[in-house]
Amino acid sequence: MVLGLLIFTFVLLLDHLFELVDVLINKGGSVWLTIRLLALLLPSTISITLPVATLLAALLTFGRFSETNEITAIRASGLTSWSYLKTPYVTGFILALFLIPFNSFWAPAAQSHFRQLFLEVLGRNPLVRIEENTFVEIGDYHFFVRKKTRRSLMKGISIYKNTVNGPPLRIYADEGTASMDKKQGVTFTLHHGHLEKIDPANPDHWVHTAFETYVLGIPVSNETKSAEKSLEEMNTTQLRMRIKELKAQHIPYPIFTCQMHLRWALAVTPLLFVALGIPLAIRVQRGGRSIGFAISLAVIGVYYVVLMGGTGLGQRGVWPPVLAVWLANGILLITAGFFTRRFLRQ
């Protein structure tokens, strides 16, 4: 199980590892800060990899037992099936009890702390948000840079500002540089461009001003903390409160209901994977670790496709949320019961 947990956790963290390396190298983060961000990412990953590791452990362990005829020897000695099924079933049950509060409270809290810490890193220097061919918001302005060099020289700069009461503003420059000051904010020095906006005195006229050098200062407030939380950051208590608020306003709330049941469905999967993995491993008998990995990947793929597909239907209100989310677990339970019954009859 530890082997599977390490492998699958590493695979799921690969994409985030590149972001963390970028924080360390390009965004001015320290090694300790990068380690903290990685630690805060682990809980949301473990919610998925721990059940998968349990399935792999059941397949590898009992596949080896079956391959070396250990199961036959145990039965020939007169011992019951429960004598060797007890430990994995109890382990799966304990993991399920652990994952219920883990998925409901601890993982969302870690996800929320990760987002706040990552926003704090970006808030220290908003310039690190600027990427090539990507719209980025800094203050009240939206930036688009076609090319960015290592010396902070930007080329093909387009800047947009839409105000509530005033006319919209567009600035284009062939190239420019940017600097950051904690007190004054961000200062852009633009070269060879033009500024376009509607004349406030005469809305029918469009003002076009060319410039050789234009300095744009943007004060940046420290808005690193946000009261708005995503679904992944809300714990079960907050989801219940949100459902209660929407229900009182007669507003549909299937997204929040699906998210709450999704955490519980994922929590009980270690026990279901144990119940399915043991009879599957004994039935296959040959192949060792390679067949164990192959079967685990196949089961995981089918399970999560059905789970996420059903959750999507539930969030859109096509199916009742409880049925949509628990459909994959129901199929897993029926399949595990079928194979277990056949195994015990042998």
Q: What are φ and ψ of residue 195, in 5° steps? A: -120, 135
Stretch 142-158: mean pLDDT: 84
Amino acid code (one letter) for 45: T
C-alpha span between 131 and 238 (Å, rounded): 35
Neighbours of 295 (CB within 10 A): 21
C-alpha span between 312 and 308 (Å, rounded): 6
Predicted confidence at residue 220, as pLDDT, reads 64
| Residues listed for the chain | 346
Give the 3-state secondary structure percentages of the chain, helix then strand then coil, rounded to 5: 60, 20, 20
Average pLDDT, the chain: 85
Residue 65: pLDDT band with limits 50, 70, 90: confident
Our CA dihedral for 89, 95, 101, 107, rounded to 10 degrees, sits at: -150
Taking 50 as the threshold, does the pLDDT of residue 256 lie above it?
A: yes
Taking 70 as the threshold, does the pLDDT of residue 325 lie above it?
A: yes
Predicted confidence at residue 125, as pLDDT, reads 59
- Mapping DSSP to helix (H, G, I), strand (E, B) and coil, where does residue 168 land? coil
Q: Are 292 and 56 in contact (CB under 8 A)?
A: yes
Measuring CA to CA, how many Å separate 274 from each of 118, 176, 193, 278, 332?
Answer: 37, 60, 65, 6, 11
Amino acid code (one letter) for 103: N
Predicted confidence at residue 165, as pLDDT, reads 67
Predicted confidence at residue 26, as pLDDT, reads 62
Taking 90 as the threshold, does the pLDDT of residue 296 lie above it?
A: no
- Which has the minimum average pLDDT: 30-34, 127-131, 158-162? 127-131
Predicted confidence at residue 134, as pLDDT, reads 85
Predicted confidence at residue 333, as pLDDT, reads 95
Predicted confidence at residue 208, as pLDDT, reads 87
Tokens 């800060």 locate to: 33
Going by C-alpha positions, the residue among 141, 191, 146 that lies closest to residue 168 is: 141
- Calculate Rg over the CA atoms of the chain: 28
Residue 213: pLDDT band with limits 50, 70, 90: very high
Taking 80 as the threshold, does the pLDDT of residue 28 lie above it?
A: no
Predicted confidence at residue 225, as pLDDT, reads 47
C-alpha span between 58 and 321 (Å, rounded): 31
Neighbours of 182 (CB within 10 A): 9
Neighbours of 45 (CB within 10 A): 19
Going by C-alpha positions, the residue among 100, 119, 93, 135 that lies closest to residue 40 is: 119
Q: Which helix (H) or strand (E) holds 157?
A: strand 154-161
Tokens 């007669």 locate to: 250
- Which has the minimum average pLDDT: 123-137, 269-283, 298-312? 123-137
| Percentage of residues of the chain with pLDDT beyond 70 | 88
Taking each helix axis as running N to C, give the angle between helix 321-345 and helix 269-284, from 0 to 180 degrees, rounded to the nearest 10: 40
Most confidently predicted of 33-47, 77-91, 93-107, 177-191: 93-107
Predicted confidence at residue 126, as pLDDT, reads 61
C-alpha span between 273 and 9 (Å, rounded): 18
Taking 90 as the threshold, does the pLDDT of residue 284 lie above it?
A: no
Going by C-alpha positions, the residue among 220, 27, 167, 168 that lies closest to residue 158 is: 168
Amino acid code (one letter) for 1: M
Taking 80 as the threshold, does the pLDDT of residue 182 lie above it?
A: no
Stretch 57-86: mean pLDDT: 87
For residue 284 the two structure tokens come to: 């296959």
Taking 50 as the threshold, does the pLDDT of residue 224 lie above it?
A: no
Predicted confidence at residue 151, as pLDDT, reads 60
Residue 255: pLDDT band with limits 50, 70, 90: very high
Most confidently predicted of 36-45, 89-98, 132-141, 246-255: 89-98
Q: How far apart are the first and last CA of the chain?
A: 27
Predicted confidence at residue 66, as pLDDT, reads 82
Predicted confidence at residue 164, as pLDDT, reads 66
Stretch 330-341: mean pLDDT: 93
- Which has the minimum average pLDDT: 39-48, 168-177, 278-287? 278-287
